[in-house]
């Protein structure tokens, strides 16, 4: 074994002898048990709760030198028991390439980055890595990047196809998130502890026509633009955002929607206090001449509007929107542990059918975090939804008065497996 290690090290020394480079290899292993009794939707009558364990096994390889960065991340995401023990291969297609990108530095400020990559900005409301989901979120895209000490800008573009064809660019994968083409610009300026950013995002989706809606008819576009800011007011840190969506919500419907948020955080000692509000516009259930429902698209939506994912996590698109008032307290319970207590008060933003009361429910979230040893963390959570009668109006008519709760425990192991610095021979 010692001979093998020495041989590997000698290989890298010889390979990188002409450059100053760094190679990093790390792992991300996490197992999460979940108990679901009304998660994501109201619990129906005469049903049994669900329970399962999900596993992520991810290996990250990063290489960098003076003018170049390369990052490759492969992963297997599976549910315990979904593959029989003695199968010769994994028949569930759970292995995938999560990231594979290269970044070329033209000088100290400008660079080009292309490949499969995570795109994440600010509080991850519009663009985020979605790390809570075991599979994460990536984009196949190319970026032009500029950055100095106080200012950065990214210009990105993507063009998606199902495969290679000699004729046409038909893109059959349909969905609210799945764009055929994307272009965006992002700018951020910092003034000490204060910062402000601006985003303009244009996404194009395959348009169809015909009796069966299967004939290609060009592309329709949706635009999202807005700003995120953060600034301290004495001991209180204030953050907020405002975004506007326009263009088309589908091939035939105009879109006009908005999002506004404001949050204040105060941490005088070992206890953190937070108070916030978010408004996401919606469309009246009785109908409207255009779609007024904002959707936060490619962000880490699990982070917002309650951990039980009743809103904007694969659901609540083209719906009545949401007014979310929340308060949170984070207690430092030990040297390496904390306890979060958070309460959300939910209301519909637009009118419910029959002018029903807009109050939807109250959610309580508890999360305990404990670092066990270096590179090993244990997180435990419990959430409870106290749904109102009118929550049923936006959740397919399911009963509101069943118990709706969710519990989970997650073990995260993310050690750095290998790091090597290789210097030029003349250094």
Q: How many CB atoms lie within 10 A of CB 213?
A: 11
In the predicted model, residues of the chain with pLDDT beneath 50 are none
The distance between the two most distant Cα atoms of the chain, rounded to a whole number of Å, is 79
The CATH architecture one would assign to domain 2-422 is Beta Barrel (2.40)
Q: How many CB atoms lie within 10 A of CB 363?
A: 25
Q: How far is CA 285 from CA 250, 254, 258, 354, in A?
A: 18, 17, 17, 9
Tell me the Cα Rg of the chain: 24
What pLDDT does 287 receive?
82
The CA distance from 262 to 323, in Å, is 12
User: How many residues are there in the chain?
Assistant: 427
For the chain, percent of residues with pLDDT exceeding 70: 94
The CA distance from 31 to 78, in Å, is 10
pLDDT digits (tens, 9 = 90+) for 279-297: 999 999 988 889 999 999 9
pLDDT digits (tens, 9 = 90+) for 354-408: 999 999 999 999 999 999 999 999 999 999 999 999 999 999 999 999 999 999 9
Under 8 Å CB-to-CB from 336, ≥6 apart: which residues? 370, 371
Strand ranges, E, within 210-281: 215-233, 236-250, 253-266, 271-280
Asked if 109 and 147 count as a contact pair (C-beta separation under 8 A), the reply is: yes
Q: Classify 49 as helix, strand or coil.
A: coil
pLDDT digits (tens, 9 = 90+) for 63-116: 999 999 999 999 999 999 988 887 777 667 789 999 999 999 999 999 999 999
């Amino acid at each position: 074994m010692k001979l093998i290690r020495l041989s590997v090290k000698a290989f890298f020394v010889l390979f990188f002898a002409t450059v100053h480079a760094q190679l990093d290899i790390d792992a991300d292993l996490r197992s999460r048990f979940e108990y679901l009794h009304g998660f994501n939707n109201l619990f129906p009558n005469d049903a049994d709760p669900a329970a399962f364990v999900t596993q992520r096994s991810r290996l990250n390889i990063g290489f960098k030198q003076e003018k170049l960065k390369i990052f490759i991340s492969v992963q297997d995401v599976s549910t315990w028991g979904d593959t029989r023990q003695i199968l010769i291969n994994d028949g569930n297609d759970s292995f995938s390439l999560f990231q594979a990108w290269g970044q070329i530095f033209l000088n100290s400020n400008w660079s080009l980055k292309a490949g499969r990559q995570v795109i994440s900005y600010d509080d991850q409301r519009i663009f985020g890595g979605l790390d809570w989901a075991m599979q994460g979120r990536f984009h196949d895209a190319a970026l032009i990047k500029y950055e100095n000490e106080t200012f950065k800008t990214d210009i990105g573009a993507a063009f998606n196809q199902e495969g290679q064809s000699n004729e046409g660019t038909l893109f059959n994968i349909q969905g609210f998130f799945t764009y055929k083409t994307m272009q965006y610009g992002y700018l951020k300026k910092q003034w000490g502890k204060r910062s402000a950013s601006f985003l303009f995002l244009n996404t194009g989706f395959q348009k169809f026509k015909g009796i069966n809606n299967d004939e290609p008819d060009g592309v329709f576009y949706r635009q999202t633009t807005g700003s995120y800011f953060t600034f301290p007011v004495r001991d209180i840190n204030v953050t907020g955002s405002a975004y506007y969506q326009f263009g088309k919500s589908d091939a035939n419907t105009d879109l006009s929607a908005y999002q506004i948020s404001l949050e204040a955080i105060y941490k005088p000692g070992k206890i953190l206090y937070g108070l916030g509000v978010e408004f996401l516009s919606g469309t009246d259930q009785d109908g409207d001449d255009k779609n007024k429902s904002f959707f936060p698209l490619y962000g880490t939506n699990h982070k917002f509007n309650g951990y039980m994912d009743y809103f904007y996590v694969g659901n609540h698109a083209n719906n009545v929107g949401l007014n979310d008032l929340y308060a949170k307290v984070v207690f430092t319970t030990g040297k390496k542990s904390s306890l979060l207590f958070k309460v959300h008060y939910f209301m519909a933003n637009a009118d419910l059918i029959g002018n029903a009361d807009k109050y939807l429910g109250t959610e309580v979230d508890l999360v305990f975090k404990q670092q066990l040893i270096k590179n090993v963390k244990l997180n435990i959570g419990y959430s409870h939804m106290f749904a109102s009668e009118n929550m049923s109006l936006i959740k397919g008519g399911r009963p509101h008065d069943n118990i709706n709760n969710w519990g989970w425990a997650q073990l995260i192991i993310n050690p750095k497996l290998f790091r090597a610095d290789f210097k030029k021979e003349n250094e």
